[in-house]
A and B are shown apart, each in its own frame.
Chain A
């Protein structure tokens, strides 16, 4: 499978863009139906690109990034499937199969990056303390560039090394399976740090019950499969009812108290 240097460079650039696009930019260029056509055009076989892209797109319809979960990565999978289909004249479905190891590597790279970006947040905190607005902007663009480069690099390896490269890479990943499991478990736990920070600031003593009530309600609704998708919206309605009632009652008390009690100590002990 010979590719010209210009083709490899163009694929590198395209993958750099769509790797970022899967989370940012237009969030639609990365879809296999678009990406397949572009890769096909770069490699001089637009019809095959359209067919493989369309086929891969139909496969991924049931596999959307819903609720922030990371499925095997369709971005890199779609690109490599198109490359293999054009380079070796494979049926689209067979090409998609060869691309699976790359899709898994894509998933691993995202896990790594999202974990590595967590400690960077304390750098962002320091920038905020200094009012360094340019620093915040740079930090975001830097993270986007890293993501793009990682993906573009792996796709280039795949184009040069062929599908064997995918197996080599995924075998390597297999050997360090525990590292990946460990990182993704740690990654899954890191959001609790974010919650704890919010609680440290927001959780006055009188709100402990409210915190547990929210936890329990979300747990109950989450265990009902038909409702789990809208769990947070349903919870918010109940939370709103509680908060709105509290607001009405306290405003009424304030107005009724008027000049009587006076001062503003009324809400110190939570009424």
Chain B
């Protein structure tokens, strides 16, 4: 994470990834959330999932592999069932040894919007319909209920995972010629989209609110609604910018920031701020 390298040492595109490796990564994508945590969410699981590909791509240069592992450990969160779409496109860029900034920007821009789509497909459509039908079969004592549920859900899940991996890997590979012709302009545009998405995530993922109220006879003053009157999502924005400042200007490490947030959270809960 300390590394500020902007591109790989070996810029010769690697051999395209073979089917076995791509398939292996599809199966690893199942465990995307293995080490889920509140700081970087799926980051380490993401790295675990694409590692077989990265090891092949950067096989001839250990330093490049380290660089790639470092930047692929940054914040990552997407829909677990659609992650292979992001994997395919990022791996195609890694294989072509695109600028690290470009890869990062594409990764951030691609991961954000998938959440809503995945929820709509899986949690609002597939599961309610299949579970609704098969649950009634189970309640009527039929063992076919759970078996059918598992079959339908997993056929769809694996179909989506495999399709997205191959489709987006080929898509990225085809687009690469256009991109490398205008690499600088593309990196700039992708970074803009990435920063735009991080701005959106700050609001969309930011749920921190204050539960503090001031006694005021019959109509207590709710601090949070005053803050919302100034700017909705003010606390998430201030925290993000505050942490950004601590890291950029004061050289704080992420782990120090986490310790600070733990102290704030526990003290705040003790005195009733949260």
Contact = CB atoms under 8 A, between A and B. Distances in A.
Contacts of B268: 182, 185
Given A196-B247, A211-B196, A24 B257 contact: no
A251 B183 CA distance: 10
Interface string A29-64: 101011011000000001100110111011001001
B205 A50 contact: no
Contacts of A124: 35, 43-44, 47, 73
Contact of A26 (B30, B39, B237): B30
Interface in A213-268: 213-219, 222-223, 229-233, 235-236, 238-240, 242-244, 246-247, 250-251, 254, 264, 267
Contacts, number: 413
A215 B105 contact: no
Interface string B114-153: 0111011001100110011011111101110110011001
Contacts of A202: 101, 104-105, 108, 191, 194-195, 198
A21 to B, nearest CB: 10
B40 interface: yes
Interface stretch (A98-106, A114-122, A155-163, A167-175): A114-122
A31 B257 CA distance: 36
A90 interface: no
B3 to A, nearest CB: 8
Which secondary structure dominates where chain A touches chain B? helix
B120 A133 contact: no
A109 interface: no
Contacts of B173: none
A254 B141 contact: no
Given A178-B269, A232-B116, A243-B190, A191 B38 contact: yes
Interface residues of B, number: 121
Contacts of A223: 232
B212 interface: no
Contact of A25 (B31, B116, B128, B131): B31
A94 interface: no
A141 interface: yes
Given A183-B265, A189-B264, A242-B192, A214 B200 contact: yes
Contacts of A1: none
B9 to A, nearest CB: 13
B116 A118 contact: no
B32 interface: yes
A192 interface: yes
Contacts of A188: 38, 207-208
B149 A26 contact: no
Contacts of B134: 33, 54
B7 interface: no
Interface in A174-213: 178-179, 181-204, 207, 210-213
Interface string B59-76: 000100110011011110
A219 B48 contact: no
A153 interface: no
A219 B232 contact: yes
A2 interface: no
B188 A54 contact: no
Contact of B195 (A131, A191, A193, A199): A199
Contact of B131 (A33, A130, A144): A33
Nearest to B44: A124
Given A136-B51, A181-B274, A191-B41, A247 B34 contact: no
Nearest to B274: A185
A201 B38 contact: no
Given A197-B75, A214-B199, A54 B136 contact: yes
Contacts of B33: 23-24
Interface string A81-114: 0000000000000000000000000000000001
A5 interface: no
A65 B265 CA distance: 24
Nearest to B29: A24
Contact of A33 (B70, B149, B240, B244): B149
B248 A251 contact: no
Nearest to A191: B205
B266 A179 contact: yes
A139 interface: yes
B265 A29 contact: no
Contacts of B196: 210-211, 213-214, 235, 238-239, 242-243
Contacts of B66: 128-131
Given A33-B134, A185-B208, A232-B113, A140 B240 contact: no
6 contacts: A23-B36, A50-B138, A54-B145, A187-B38, A197-B74, A267-B185
What are the nearest 6 A-B pairs in CB distance? Answer: A214-B199, A186-B265, A194-B75, A182-B269, A54-B138, A117-B37
